[in-house]
Chain A
Amino acid sequence: MNKVWKSGSAGLLLSAMLVVSACSSNGNEAGSASPSASPSAPSAGETGSVAPSAAPLKGKINLVMWHQPTIDAVNAEIENYKKLHSEVDIEIIFSAFDQYYTTIQTQLIGGGAPVGIGVSPETTQMLAKYLEPLTPYFEEENPYTKQPWKQDYVANAFEIGKSGTNDVWMVGVAGAVNTGVWYNKKMLDEAGVAVPTTWEELMAAQKTIKDSGQIAWSEQLVANFKGDWYNWQLNYGFNLDDWMKLDTLVPDGRVSQMEVVRGIKTGEIDLKSEKVKAMFAEWKKWVEAGWPENFSSDWGWYDAFVSGKAAFFLGGSWDTPGFVQNIKDFEYGHFSLPNPGNPSDPIDMANLGGAWGLNKGATPEQKAIFIDFMRFLSQPDVHKRVVEAQGMLPVVQGVELSDPVMNAWAQDAKFNVSKIQAISLDNELASKFLSYSQAFLTGGDLDGFVDKYASIYQEAAERLITQNKWDTTQW
């Protein structure tokens, strides 16, 4: 018997997993409600400025999210919401960011995924076939604000929720500036460098600091992989599309997924162009210059910045509360990361820092509750409480933050739609990109990496064509 088990080996193990997967029911086919079925009309008013719904909502929904502060903030509002809808229950489930999308994707396939799925604009395309397009819902009136729901939102923040497509896939819960560089004023002064305003100045500053024996960057060593930090830099620092779309026709001022795919397919976007090579070469130069000579346990995560050992920290607006609380010994500030490709256009990656998509497989009743609760969250006073509780920025119009630092970030947040990646790589291609970039940044050659990069995006384009059934004959 032992022999039988042993000879089964990995194949049997896999087979068992596959059978389990196959046996899971696919709840995504159940009950797809049309937006018009959504009974989110108000009922007689009781609490504050809120207009309660006419058709009583009943049932329970669950929402999944990886960001604990968002969960805490929204949980507080759930209690307020339940005062209006006593027969509704909303549960928020935490799922760790590590493997989040793998977990959710598996749940969506298996039919056991929550009703509300925490998503980001960059990764929504990956889940799009499991999510309900929210565009029609946004055209309806929000019973709580008495205007079309869409108008509750900052226009560009709303557009970002389309993730490069024509449909809205998510409801923004909070915003964030993702490309803020924090600096230690004291260290810059001691090194004799001014706060950088251009890419060249930033590179020169980090070199001066490093040459003086100091640590330039407080590294973000997530899961021990240097590559994580590198890709963070690439995605939010260099902003791939800034380079990719240079040769692309972009209709109505925003990145169109189909146009970018068409550009790749027809060769209008040259993925191996000198511009692309220059981008990756600059990226590597930055990483090598920023990376200390010897590994030190002193520069992990943002500890090094908070403790005053590192001059810069590439983070975002969400770091503000933590820094305000923990940094007492030196003066610090932030600036938007300069754009290495276009000095006159600083990188502005204000983005949706928290958002929920709707599971297509939810029942009509669940969808109705989800939409109604999201509309409830879109009220300016509610939204203000939610974003302030987690140190995030507003995506709803007419919200003035109490904290001046956060308010300054909010002024900086342009929610530049054209900076959103038109093509989000799926799990497989993202994993390949990460792995090959790790190899490139730790000794691999540029041309080899650019070849890989091009093949990854060509494959991504092909997949999107197949997935969307685009007719490419006219291209």
Chain B
Amino acid sequence: MQSTRGFSADGLLRKLAKSGKGYLLILPTFALILVFSYYPFLQALHKSFFHWDGQSTSFAGLDNYKRMFTGDAELGKAARNQIVITVVSILKIVTVPLLVARLMFALTSGWATRTYRIMLLLPMTVPWIVMGYVWKNMYAPKGVFNTLLAQLGLDSWAHNWLGDPSMALGSVLFIGFPWAGGIAFLIYLAGFQGIDSSLLESARLDGAGFWRRFLAIELPLVQTQTRILLVLTVLDSLKSYGFLIFLTNGGPAYATLSPGVWIYQNSFVFLRFGYASAIGVVLLLVSALLSWLMIRLTKRGDLHD
């Protein structure tokens, strides 16, 4: 087993000869990935060692990296916000969509299943900028939330939802409530539908109740889906800065600042392209590390392995 995993030049050549056409066909795709993905990354890595404001460039050595860890209090705040954003995003993704998918799995009427599925998946087709715009308006001083509260006589509960530092991050994370639909729901539903019905039937005959079946059989069997979702969610939460820029631009008082937003601001607002590149490089490493960690943690109990 070990020998097959070890590197062997002969083995590689034999494989290439054997599947030559396959490698040839994939070559253009790989070349494009190299040009459009890896090359820009290497460029960013290169730029991270320079002070670059778009016009003049000077060698910075490790200054940009040093600044990240010693001289940028805002980045520290952004990192703390990012932890909150990531944890809440994970919680959102592994709770409601999982339960809704399980409930959907239990539906026996084909018509009802189709209707619910469409209703839950339809919001996925709405572009994020439209959704952001709608929620921004709902949070506005004269938006739906405050108007509703006023009509209910709860004026004192009204807030400047995105403008108050103590409320802003919570308000942003609340967006999309009740977080039932979307890709997470779809992946979980596919997972449930892939469970061998005989397993569940056997458990039922053995006297296992709903929760027992759910916790002991179904949940472990959708662990692969959970792992995929965890990795996707962590990566998405680290990458998605556009939504925050649109809603709050990281404010007020850095309450919604994330490393992604800070990269954007440093590059395109403060014109510190070199420093922004350095943060981008570190963010990439963090993303890779977290992805690996997620896979390792969830792999341990995966019944499929």
Contact = CB atoms under 8 A, between A and B. Distances in A.
Interface in A1-59: 1, 4-19, 21-22, 26
B161 interface: yes
Contacts of B54: 21, 109-110
Instruction: Please classify the interface of chain B as helix (H, G, I), strand (E, B), loop, or mixed, using the class held by over half of its residues.
Output: helix
B147 A224 contact: no
Query: Taking each of A221, A297, A432, A439, which has the highest tally of chain B beta carbons within 10 Å of its own beta carbon?
Result: A297
Interface stretch (B3-11, B136-144, B186-194, B296-304): B136-144
Contacts of B267: 14, 17-18, 21
The A contact surface, by secondary structure, is helix
A272 interface: no
Nearest to B258: A10
B86 interface: no
Classify chain A's interface size.
35 or more
Interface in A293-313: 294-297, 300
B239 interface: yes
Contacts of B238: 9-10
A226 B37 contact: no
Given A11-B283, A18-B47, A442 B55 contact: no
A439 B269 contact: no
Interface in A442-469: 442, 444
Interface string B205-225: 000000000000000000000
B241 interface: yes
A7 B37 CA distance: 10
Contacts of B259: 10
17 contacts: A8-B37, A11-B41, A13-B239, A16-B36, A17-B267, A19-B43, A22-B43, A102-B268, A223-B163, A224-B141, A224-B161, A225-B163, A226-B163, A227-B252, A294-B155, A295-B146, A442-B164
Contacts of B263: 10, 14
A4 B284 CA distance: 12
A427 interface: yes
Contacts of A109: 53-55, 271
A225 B284 contact: no
Across chains A and B, which 5 residue pairs bring their CB atoms closest together, nearest first?
A15-B40, A11-B284, A15-B44, A428-B270, A439-B253
Interface in A101-141: 102, 105-106, 109-110
What size tier do the contact residues of chain B reach?
35 or more
B260 interface: yes
Contacts of A26: 55
Contact of B253 (A18, A21, A300, A442): A442
A4 B281 contact: no
Interface in B38-53: 39-44, 47, 53
Most buried by B among A7, A14, A18: A14
Contacts of B141: 221, 224, 295, 297, 300
Interface in B17-50: 29, 33, 36-37, 39-44, 47
A436 interface: yes
Interface in A201-243: 221, 223-227
B95 interface: no
B280 interface: yes
Contact of B40 (A12, A294, A297): A12
B253 A14 contact: no
Interface string A422-447: 00001110011011101100101000
B278 to A, nearest CB: 10
Most B CB atoms within 10 A — which of A16, A17, A18, A221?
A: A18
Interface centre among B141, B150, B166, B250 (most CB of A within 10 A): B141
